[in-house]
Protein backbone atom coordinates (compact mmCIF):
# COMPACT_ATOMS: atom_id res chain seq x y z
CA UNK A 1 0.00 0.00 0.00
CA UNK A 2 1.50 3.39 -0.92
CA UNK A 3 2.47 5.69 1.89
CA UNK A 4 -0.10 8.44 2.44
CA UNK A 5 0.72 12.11 2.53
CA UNK A 6 -1.59 12.69 5.48
CA UNK A 7 0.11 13.77 8.67
CA UNK A 8 1.32 11.00 10.96
CA UNK A 9 1.79 11.37 14.72
CA UNK A 10 5.52 10.70 14.57
CA UNK A 11 7.70 11.80 11.66
CA UNK A 12 8.96 8.73 9.84
CA UNK A 13 12.68 8.27 9.70
CA UNK A 14 14.32 7.89 6.31
CA UNK A 15 14.43 4.24 5.30
CA UNK A 16 17.60 2.34 6.03
CA UNK A 17 20.21 3.01 3.40
CA UNK A 18 18.36 5.96 1.87
CA UNK A 19 20.79 8.81 1.36
CA UNK A 20 19.58 12.19 2.60
CA UNK A 21 19.71 14.58 -0.35
CA UNK A 22 18.40 17.66 1.47
CA UNK A 23 17.61 18.51 5.09
CA UNK A 24 16.34 21.76 6.57
CA UNK A 25 14.96 22.71 9.98
CA UNK A 26 12.58 25.67 10.01
CA UNK A 27 14.05 27.30 13.13
CA UNK A 28 12.47 30.50 14.47
CA UNK A 29 14.16 33.78 13.49
CA UNK A 30 16.01 35.95 15.99
CA UNK A 31 13.04 38.29 16.37
CA UNK A 32 10.84 35.37 17.52
CA UNK A 33 13.33 34.72 20.33
CA UNK A 34 13.32 38.44 21.18
CA UNK A 35 9.52 38.37 21.39
CA UNK A 36 9.69 35.27 23.61
CA UNK A 37 12.15 37.07 25.89
CA UNK A 38 9.86 40.11 26.01
CA UNK A 39 6.81 38.04 26.87
CA UNK A 40 8.81 36.19 29.52
CA UNK A 41 9.95 39.57 30.86
CA UNK A 42 6.31 40.41 31.46
CA UNK A 43 6.46 37.77 34.20
CA UNK A 44 8.64 40.19 36.15
CA UNK A 45 5.88 42.80 36.04
CA UNK A 46 3.22 40.32 37.11
CA UNK A 47 5.15 38.80 40.01
CA UNK A 48 7.27 41.78 41.12
CA UNK A 49 4.60 42.98 43.56
CA UNK A 50 5.03 39.66 45.38
CA UNK A 51 8.83 39.83 45.29
CA UNK A 52 11.59 40.68 42.86
CA UNK A 53 12.94 37.14 43.09
CA UNK A 54 9.51 35.72 42.20
CA UNK A 55 9.35 38.07 39.20
CA UNK A 56 12.74 37.01 37.83
CA UNK A 57 11.99 33.34 38.56
CA UNK A 58 8.66 33.59 36.70
CA UNK A 59 10.39 35.28 33.75
CA UNK A 60 13.02 32.53 33.60
CA UNK A 61 10.44 29.76 33.82
CA UNK A 62 8.26 31.39 31.14
CA UNK A 63 11.23 31.77 28.79
CA UNK A 64 12.28 28.14 29.27
CA UNK A 65 8.72 26.96 28.57
CA UNK A 66 8.48 29.07 25.41
CA UNK A 67 11.94 27.98 24.24
CA UNK A 68 11.08 24.31 24.70
CA UNK A 69 7.79 24.76 22.81
CA UNK A 70 9.51 26.62 19.96
CA UNK A 71 12.23 23.98 19.67
CA UNK A 72 9.84 21.01 19.87
CA UNK A 73 7.48 22.50 17.29
CA UNK A 74 10.22 23.24 14.73
CA UNK A 75 9.46 21.11 11.67
CA UNK A 76 12.05 19.56 9.36
CA UNK A 77 12.11 19.01 5.62
CA UNK A 78 13.96 15.85 4.63
CA UNK A 79 14.42 14.62 1.06
CA UNK A 80 15.88 11.16 0.47
CA UNK A 81 16.20 9.11 -2.69
CA UNK A 82 12.83 7.48 -2.03
CA UNK A 83 10.82 9.77 0.28
CA UNK A 84 9.92 13.33 1.19
CA UNK A 85 9.10 14.36 4.75
CA UNK A 86 7.75 17.83 5.50
CA UNK A 87 6.86 18.37 9.14
CA UNK A 88 4.63 15.47 10.17
CA UNK A 89 3.77 14.35 6.64
CA UNK A 90 5.70 11.89 4.53
CA UNK A 91 5.24 10.62 0.98
CA UNK A 92 7.14 8.45 -1.45
CA UNK A 93 9.14 10.44 -4.02
CA UNK A 94 7.36 8.69 -6.88
CA UNK A 95 4.23 10.67 -5.94
CA UNK A 96 6.01 14.05 -6.11
CA UNK A 97 5.17 16.00 -9.28
CA UNK A 98 6.12 19.52 -10.28
CA UNK A 99 7.97 21.63 -7.73
CA UNK A 100 7.99 25.42 -7.77
CA UNK A 101 9.59 28.04 -5.50
CA UNK A 102 7.93 31.37 -4.69
CA UNK A 103 9.30 34.53 -3.05
CA UNK A 104 7.94 37.94 -2.10
CA UNK A 105 4.44 38.84 -3.33
CA UNK A 106 4.12 35.51 -5.17
CA UNK A 107 4.79 33.62 -1.91
CA UNK A 108 2.22 35.78 -0.13
CA UNK A 109 -0.35 34.96 -2.84
CA UNK A 110 0.40 31.22 -2.59
CA UNK A 111 -0.17 31.36 1.19
CA UNK A 112 -3.33 33.45 0.76
CA UNK A 113 -5.54 34.08 -2.27
CA UNK A 114 -3.98 31.31 -4.39
CA UNK A 115 -4.21 28.65 -1.68
CA UNK A 116 -6.20 25.48 -2.31
CA UNK A 117 -8.14 24.48 0.81
CA UNK A 118 -7.08 20.84 0.38
CA UNK A 119 -3.35 21.62 0.35
CA UNK A 120 -1.10 20.36 3.14
CA UNK A 121 0.62 23.34 4.80
CA UNK A 122 3.88 23.49 6.69
CA UNK A 123 4.45 27.22 6.72
CA UNK A 124 6.11 29.50 9.23
CA UNK A 125 5.31 33.21 9.31
CA UNK A 126 8.94 34.14 9.89
CA UNK A 127 10.10 32.46 6.65
CA UNK A 128 8.92 34.27 3.49
CA UNK A 129 9.79 31.88 0.61
CA UNK A 130 7.57 28.86 0.04
CA UNK A 131 7.87 25.77 -2.14
CA UNK A 132 4.81 24.27 -3.80
CA UNK A 133 5.13 20.49 -4.23
CA UNK A 134 2.57 18.80 -6.46
CA UNK A 135 1.24 15.46 -5.18
CA UNK A 136 0.42 12.94 -7.95
CA UNK A 137 -0.87 10.07 -5.78
CA UNK A 138 -4.30 9.22 -7.27
CA UNK A 139 -5.57 7.98 -3.90
CA UNK A 140 -4.65 11.27 -2.16
CA UNK A 141 -7.02 14.25 -2.28
CA UNK A 142 -4.19 16.64 -1.43
CA UNK A 143 -3.32 18.50 -4.64
CA UNK A 144 -0.02 19.87 -3.31
CA UNK A 145 2.07 20.62 -0.26
CA UNK A 146 3.10 24.18 0.53
CA UNK A 147 6.19 24.43 2.71
CA UNK A 148 8.23 27.34 3.97
CA UNK A 149 11.92 27.12 3.13
CA UNK A 150 14.88 29.40 3.67
CA UNK A 151 16.56 27.70 0.70
CA UNK A 152 13.74 27.19 -1.82
CA UNK A 153 16.04 26.79 -4.83
CA UNK A 154 18.05 24.03 -3.13
CA UNK A 155 14.86 22.23 -2.05
CA UNK A 156 13.42 22.55 -5.55
CA UNK A 157 16.63 21.18 -7.07
CA UNK A 158 16.71 18.26 -4.61
CA UNK A 159 13.10 17.33 -5.42
CA UNK A 160 13.56 17.76 -9.17
CA UNK A 161 16.45 15.34 -9.45
CA UNK A 162 15.45 11.71 -9.82
Q: Is the pLDDT of residue 1 over 80?
A: no
Is residue 146 within 8 A of residue 129, CB to CB? The reply is: no
Q: What is the DSSP letter of 143?
A: -
**pLDDT recorded at residue 161:** 79
- Over residues 29-73, the pLDDT tens digits come to 999 999 999 999 998 888 888 999 999 999 999 999 999 999 999
Greater confidence (24 vs 16) lies with 24
Phi/psi class of residue 17: alpha, beta or left (left: φ > 0; alpha: ψ in -120 to 50)? Answer: left
**pLDDT per position as a tens digit, 75-104:** 999 999 999 999 999 999 999 999 999 999
Amino acid sequence: MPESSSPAPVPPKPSTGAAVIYREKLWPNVWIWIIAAGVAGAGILVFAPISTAAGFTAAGVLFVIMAVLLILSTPAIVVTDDSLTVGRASIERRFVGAVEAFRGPEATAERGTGLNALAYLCIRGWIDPVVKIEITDPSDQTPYWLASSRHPDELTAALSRR
